[in-house]
Structure 1
Amino acid sequence: MPQLTLYGYYKSSCTTRLRIALALKKIEYTTVFIDFFNKEHRGAAYAAINPNMSLPTLAADEGDGQGPVYITQSVAALEYLEEAFPDNGVHLLPNNAADRARVRSLVEVVVADLQPRQAAQTLEKLGNDFNANQDQKVKWAYDWCIKELQAYETLVTATGLAGKYSVGDTLTLADVCLVPGIQNAVERWGVDLDKDFPALAKIYENLKAVPEVQGAHWSQQPDAPKE
């Protein structure tokens, strides 16, 4: 069985995806904390394993003497967990090909359309290159959250996908990615989920009741600041 190491940061939404999936699939792993705030992810040591200098990285060591495989994108890591640990915990991709495509489409709304547009490096570039102030950065992030969460809401309601979770009553990779996306939208950018997205509000309430989701929240991580 591969030995896993998760390089991450407590506030990283992409890292949160992996924490949720690893917990749901009951996979043991070691954590290496990367201090994003102090730009440790841009140092030579981390760049050597992830040239994109993004978080997280999942290292998988098969014990064959070849050293670990470094999986440097969160969705690739999530798919790896499904393939490498098919009998662990829950299955996060449906058996039906059409439903798998639906799940992957929702995943992409979050990881390709929502998250990059309000990521730290995007907001940093808006400030550095276009002199955006904090209020303008917040408006930028808020507006993109509204647009992409509306797309997600429409997909799960107009097609009748939504049940207890995003695709029926079984938690999938779509939900794993949705949770930190909503946490950012609500906690950082002030989106009113109940007012603007009633279907997502219900789904999120169900997801918040899942112990593995609760334990993956940034405030519960060992590297999170303690009040």
Structure 2
Amino acid sequence: MPQLTLYGYYKSSCTTRLRIALALKNIEHKTVYIDFFNKEHRGDAYTAINPNQSLPTLAADEGDGKGPVYITQSVAALEYLEEAFPDNGIRLLPSNAADRARVRSLVEIVVADLQPRQAAQTLEKLGNDLGANQDQKVKWAYDWCIKELRAYEKQVTATASPGKYSVGDTVTLADVCLVPGIQNAVERWGVDLEKDFPALAKIYDNLKALPEVQGAHWAKQPDAPKE
């Protein structure tokens, strides 16, 4: 079995995706905590394994003497977990090709359309290059959350018989990505999920009931600030 190391940060939504998936699939791994606040991700040591300086990185060592493979994008890491550990825990991609396509479409709404537009480096760029103040940054992030969560909600309600989760009654990669996306939208940007997205609110309630999701919340991570 590959030996896994997750390089992450407690508040990183992309890292949270990996934490949830690793827990749902019951995969043993160790974690290296990267101090994003103090810009450790931009230091030479981390840049050597992830030139994009993004979080997380999943290192997979097959034990063949070649050293670890560094998977530097969260969705690629999620797909790797499905392929390398097919019999661990639950399957996060459906067996049906059409349902897999639905899952992947929802994943892309979060990871390609939502998350990058309210990521720290985007907001930093808005301030540094365009002079946006904090209120303008918050409005920018809020507006994108509303737009993309609306698109997500329309897709999950388009089916005649929606299930407990994003695609049917089994947790998928779409849900793994949705959880931190909603956490950001609600906790950081003030989105009223119950009011604006009732279908997503129900899905999120079902997801929050899972111990694997509860344990992956940023506030419960060892590197999170303690009150």
TM-score strictly above 0.5: yes
**1-structure distance, mates of 2:160, 2:144:** 24
**Contact 1:161–1:167 at 8 Å: present in 2 too?**
no
User: Where in structure 2 are the equivalents of 1:1-227 lying within 5 Å?
Assistant: 1-160=1-160, 162-227=162-227
**2-structure distance, mates of 1:102, 1:65:** 38
**1-structure distance, mates of 2:194, 2:179:** 15
**2-structure distance, mates of 1:28, 1:11:** 21
| Runs of at least 4 residues off by over 4 Å | none
**2-structure distance, mates of 1:212, 1:97:** 26
The offset of 1:119, in angstroms, is 0.1
For residues 35-76 of structure 1, what are the alpha-carbon distances to aligned partners after superposition, in whole Å with 9 as ceiling and x for unaligned? 000000000100000000000000000000000000000000
For residues 143-185 of structure 1, what are the alpha-carbon distances to aligned partners after superposition, in whole Å with 9 as ceiling and x for unaligned? 0000000000000002346310000100000000000000000
Q: Which amino acid aligns with 1:155?
A: Q
**Contact 1:23–1:212 at 8 Å: present in 2 too?**
yes
Closer, same or farther: CA 104–161 of 1 in aligned 2, 3 Å: farther
Compare 157-166 and 47-56 and name the one that shifted more: 157-166
What is the aligned-residue RMSD (CA, Å)? 0.6
What TM-score, normalized to structure 1?
A: 0.99
Identical counterparts, % of pairs: 89
